[in-house]
Amino acid sequence: MKYREYLVRWIRGPLGVLLVAIIVLFGLIVYAPLANRNSKADVLQVNGRSFLLQIARTEQERELGLGKRASMPANQGMLFVFDQVQPECFWMKDMHFSLDIIWINANKQVMYIKDDVSPRTYPDSFCPTQSVKYVIELNAGIADNTDMKVGETLDF
């Protein structure tokens, strides 16, 4: 048997399939963290509960936020990521359901919580007293139900 024929049989056989699987798995392990960097979602872990957070990074995404939506699943929320660390005010423009709003510093420490903010509060704005890097919006009651506290460091 010629070397080339042996190589073709080996690649088409079970060892070849195993080799291809290992190469694909290695590629996924190396690529997945790089692909996740630009992800449009993140996961918040707080006191045993998980929330899938849609990320609002651009000015347009942050301006729209959760506005114009009829509702949001109980295990979801929105993470606002700001370019500058500064006080960020929020309002309930075009909202149709109440929210808990959590302001978080660059170290992911909760700085301020405004719970059960109703759409009826618009045009009032809600502002933290300190500068923040992130804001998370969750359905009303989640901050209390998860026993979230000012000073707590969040995992997201």
Q: CA-based diameter of the chain, in Å?
A: 82
Instruction: Return d(Cα 123, Cα 93) in angstroms, integer.
Output: 7
* Percentage of the residues of the chain whose pLDDT score is greater than 70: 79
Average pLDDT, the chain: 87
- At residue 144's C-alpha, the angle toward residues 102 and 39, to 5°, is 45
Q: Answer yes or no: are the C-beta atoms of 128 and 87 closer than 8 Å.
A: yes
Instruction: Return d(Cα 54, Cα 40) in angstroms, integer.
Output: 6
More confident residue, 18 or 78: 78
Query: Per-residue pLDDT averaged across 33-43, rounded?
Result: 59
Q: Answer yes or no: are the C-beta atoms of 102 and 116 closer than 8 Å.
A: no
Query: Per-residue pLDDT averaged across 2-18, rounded?
Result: 68
Give pTM, 2 decimals. 0.74
pLDDT bracket for residue 12 (50, 70, 90): confident
> What contacts 96, CB < 8 A, 6 or more positions away?
68, 69, 70, 71, 119
> Would residue 62 be called left, alpha or beta, if left means φ above 0 and alpha means ψ between -120 and 50 degrees?
alpha
Give the distance from CA 100 to its chain's centroid.
16
pLDDT of residue 37: 43
pLDDT bracket for residue 35 (50, 70, 90): very low
Query: CA dist 142 to 12, 14, 94, 117, Å?
Result: 54, 51, 21, 12
Beta bridge partners of 78: 54, 137
Per-residue pLDDT reduced to its tens digit, 86-143: 999 999 999 999 999 999 999 999 999 999 999 999 999 999 999 999 999 999 999 9
pLDDT of residue 9: 72
Q: Answer yes or no: are the C-beta atoms of 106 and 85 closer than 8 Å.
A: yes
SS3 9: helix
* Model confidence at 144: pLDDT above 70: yes
